[in-house]
Amino acid sequence: MKDAEQLTADRSARALYERLLTAWNRRDAAAMARCFAPNGNMVGFDGSQVDSPGAIEAHLRPIFADHPTAAYVATVREVRALGPDVVLLRAVAGMVPPGSADINPAVNTVHTLVATRDGGDWSAALFQSTPAAWHGRPHDSAALTEELRGLVRRGVTCE
């Protein structure tokens, strides 16, 4: 992939990821579902697997309606082109519970986004959230928590 194309793909994947986080933070199931390709998949923090934008919206709607979900803050670690129309984005994220000014380290997560381009539009083929438990590595876990707290202190949702 040419440098200009890679830069465009990088920016597009980051923008898509930020739209996903913003939709979650606004508790907007429809907006989050619109980020997905027609055959897109989501794997939740608890391992739930949901396929298609319609199913993703139906899955998220009662969660947002019945639970005061925490807001994401995240740092993108890598954006890598896998082909001219496929990009892998890896990020780490923390969650700030409603009414709190701090993240809950127990739900730190690693996000994986596979973004695909159909025509000029980028959408999520896969968005996965994996617990960042890092068993046996308390120093790494604490370092991640402090890094994410820095985002909260600066009022940054995603960088």
Q: Give the pLDDT band (50/70/90) at residue 2.
A: low
Mind listing the pLDDT tens digit for each residue in 102-128?
A: 999 999 999 999 999 988 899 999 999
Is residue 95 predicted with pLDDT exceeding 90? yes
pLDDT of residue 4: 72
Closest-CA residue to 132 (of 68, 59, 75, 71): 75
Contact 89, 14 (CB under 8 A): yes
Q: Give the pLDDT band (50/70/90) at residue 94.
A: very high
Is residue 7 predicted with pLDDT exceeding 90? no
CB burial of 40-62 (b: ≥16 within 10 Å; e: otherwise) equals bbbebeeeeebebbebbbebbbe
Is residue 1 predicted with pLDDT exceeding 60? no
CATH number for 22: 3.10.450.50
In the chain, what percentage of residues exceed pLDDT 90? 86
Contact 60, 144 (CB under 8 A): no
Is residue 74 predicted with pLDDT exceeding 70? yes
pLDDT of residue 119: 83
> Is the residue at 159 inside a domain?
no
Domain of residue 105, residue span: 3-154
Give the number of domains in the chain: 1
What is the pTM for the complete model shown?
0.93
> Is the residue at 55 inside a domain?
yes
